[in-house]
Amino acid sequence: MRILVLGGAGMIGRRLIDALVASGELAGHGIDAIHSFDVVEGAFDSPLVSSQAGDIADAKTITGLVEGRPDVIFHLASIVSGEAEIDFEKGYRINLDGMQNLLEAIRKAGDDYRPRLVFTSSIAVFGAPFEEPIRDSFFHAPLTSYGTQKAICELLLADYSRKGFVDGVGIRLPTIVVRPGKPNKAASGFFSGIIREPLAGIEAVLPVDDDVRHWVASPAAAVGFLLHAATLDAAALGNRRSLTMPGLSITVGEMIETLREIAGEETAALIRRTPDAAIQKIVAGWPRDFSAERAEAAGFVADPDFAAIVRAHIADERARAAQMNGDAA
């Protein structure tokens, strides 16, 4: 089995590739090769993994990737919400043109080629005013360019799947927390920052009120969603090929209280409340609670609680530090 991961150098992409290498198989088939593609070249230790840097909006490049006829394609590559909102042209070029290039390359690869394509969509496809909880049947009315781009991609995925060009599954990811490393340009980045930075002894900026509620999942859960989406029987989804992943509906205040219970008052005190009107406006248009009945019925599994997410992040950071110390020695 050959696997292509678009966005393989990103945080979730790297974790996905690590999980695939560790397993050595997918859906009962041995993995022969994994190819990572991203805007930067990723570094991987396994001989199973090759890596390439390039532009997903370049049709010739994407055609070249598909010519190898990967059996499963994970499409994680996109620019994040805040950047897509600031740079309108770049958002559509990467997030929409990239998807169109991929689907067209697959369609033109031949009638005998129909790979499983797992596309990472977003809960940003929904816009206020909301029903609560939001079900998969709730109509798409995104209030950001990023959400609009993802919604269009979902429609394209469904149409190309209906026509038999591709076997697509779209998964609307919750906001992923706690993301390791440095902050990115995502408007939702503070949801990770208010946990990650204080745990590292660094002050974190909170731009919204404590009563802001959001839908979140851990990096480990996101990898689990991707792997399950690659193996499930898509026929059970019918023509509605995209579905909202299970997650936790939690307020910022509840997140901070969990941090306080696990790491203490001194750690929680490192959160500095600095209102940001631009971020507040974006967040106000985001959904807060979902019913993930379709996903759960299809076998997708959420995190048990937010404390488990925080403890998993702490364990990951300790393991990363131990590995770095070992490499340095």
> What dihedral angle (degrees, nearest 10) is formed by the CA atoms of 85, 86, 92, 95?
-70
Helix (H, G, I), strand (E, B) or coil at 326: helix
The catalytically annotated residue of 92, 113, 146, 160 is 146
113 is catalytic: no
**N residues, the chain:** 329
Both ends of the chain: CA-CA distance in Å?
A: 37
* 120, β-bridge pairs: 171
Contact 275, 205 (CB under 8 A): no
Angle at 153 between CA 285 and CA 220, to 5 degrees: 70
CA–CA distance, 47 with 198 (Å, rounded to integer): 37
Contact 13, 38 (CB under 8 A): yes
Return the active site residues.
146
